[in-house]
Amino acid sequence: MRILLTNDDGIHAPGLEVLERLAAPLASELWIVAPAEEQSGAGHSLTLHSPLRIRKHGEKRYSVTGTPTDAVMLALGKLMKGNWPDLILSGVNRGANLGEDITYSGTVSAAMEGALAGVPSIALSQVMNRDDLSLGFAAAEAHGPELLEKLIKALPEKRMLTNVNFPACAPEDVQGTIACQQGFRDYLRLDVDERTDPRGFRYYWFGLGPSEETPGHRTDLERVTDNYIAVTPLHLDLTHYPSIERLAGVLDANEQSK
C-alpha cells in the first residue's frame, strides 16, 4: 500500500513522527508532504495569491509553503502525479478535532482534499489535557496500529473520510473504540481578548467562551470525554435534503420543473 502522510502542524511536528511510526508497518511505500509551518485552523483554505515552494527533506519527504490543502494538492498534482497514494493519513494532530471544530481543522481538511480527489483518507487527532500534557500522544501510539489495521479493512466510500480522535488519557484507561456522530457545541459567547503591544498598538486573540454540548451523550464530544476513541464518518455533500421540498414549495414551480 502506498500511503501519503500530511498534517497541519508542520513538517517537524511530533505528531507527524507518531503518524510515521504508525503507518510504516502498513506501507510498502511511504510519502510525506506537509506544510512547512504550523497551519492549525487553516481549514480547507487554498493559496491563490502567492507562489508555493516545495522543499525536499529526504527520500519521499517534502514540505510545502502553504496550507494542508496545498500540500495534498501538490502531492497529487506534482510530486506523486501518475503514482497516487492508496491512502492518505492526516495527523496526528496535537489537540482535538471534534464537533463543529472540524470545519476549521487543517488536519481534517487535508483528508477532505484527499477524499475530493477520490483517495481514501483518514484524519487522526490526539485530544490533549491542558492541565496535564505529560501523556502526549501515548493513546494514539498505543492504540493507533490496531485501529488503522481495522479502518483499512473498511475504508470510507468515495467522497467520504474518517475522523479519529484519541482521548486524553493513559493507554490503559482507554475504554474502547466507538463509531459515533459529529457533535455540536452551542457557544454562548466568543471571547475576543484585547491587549496592547510594547509600542502601544492594540492586538487581539480569539478565545471561546462557555459552551453547551449536544444532549444525549452519543457524539464524538462526549465519547472522548468518557475515554473512548471516537471514530466519525464524514461526507462532503453538505446538502440538507429535508429542506429541498420545503424550499420547492416557496420557489417558482416552473423553475422547479426544469
- Residue-wise pLDDT tens digits, 233-246: 999 998 999 999 88
More confident residue, 32 or 204: 32
Taking 60 as the threshold, does the pLDDT of residue 189 lie above it?
no
| pLDDT of amino acid 215 | 53
Confidence of residue 214 (pLDDT cuts 50, 70, 90): low
Q: How many CB atoms lie within 10 A of CB 82?
A: 4
With bands split at pLDDT 50, 70 and 90, how would you rate the model's confidence at 213?
low
Average pLDDT over residues 138-162: 93
Would 140 be classed as within a structural domain? Answer: yes
| Structure-model confidence comparison of residues 191 and 148, the more confident one | 148
Q: Is 8 annotated as a binding residue?
A: yes
Query: Which CATH number does the domain housing residue 15 bear?
Result: 3.40.1210.10
pTM of the model: 0.90
Distance CA 33, CA 20 (A): 12
Q: How confident is the model at residue 193, as a pLDDT?
A: 85
Please name the residue that has the C-alpha cell 479519529: 164
Q: Is the pLDDT of residue 99 over 70?
A: yes
The pLDDT of residue 212: 58
Distances (CA, A) of 163 to 105, 186, 224, 232, 245: 11, 21, 13, 5, 31
Does residue 207 lie in a domain region? no
Is the preceding omega at residue 92 within 30 degrees of 0, hence cis? Answer: yes
For residue 175, the tally of other CB atoms under 10 A from its CB is 12
Asked, for residue 202, whether it belongs to a domain, the answer is: no
pLDDT of 92 strictly over 70: yes
Residues near 20 by Cβ (< 8 Å), separated by ≥ 6?
A: 5, 30, 32
Paired with 94 in beta bridges are: 126
How far, CA to CA in Å, does 51 sit from each of 54, 66, 97, 146? 10, 9, 29, 40
| Rounded alpha-carbon distances, angstroms, from residue 52 to 102, 130, 162, 202 | 25, 34, 28, 31
**C-alpha cell belonging to residue 70:** 496545498
Evaluate whether residue 208 is within a structural domain.
no
Q: Is residue 67 part of a domain?
A: yes
As for how many domains the chain has, the answer is 1
198 domain-assigned: no
**What's the confidence (pLDDT) of residue 208?**
61
- Does residue 175 fall inside a structural domain? yes
What is the structure's pLDDT at 116? Answer: 95
Q: Is 93 labelled as part of a ligand binding site?
A: yes
**pLDDT for res 254:** 55
Residue 240 lies in a domain: yes
40 is in an annotated binding site: yes
Q: Which residues pair with 58 in a beta bridge?
A: 61
Mean pLDDT, the chain, whole residue set: 91
| Residue range(s) defining the domain that contains residue 11 | 2-184+214-256
Distance CA 8, CA 63 (A): 11
Question: What is the model's pLDDT at position 130?
Answer: 78
pLDDT of residue 184: 84
Helix, strand or coil, per DSSP, at residue 132: strand
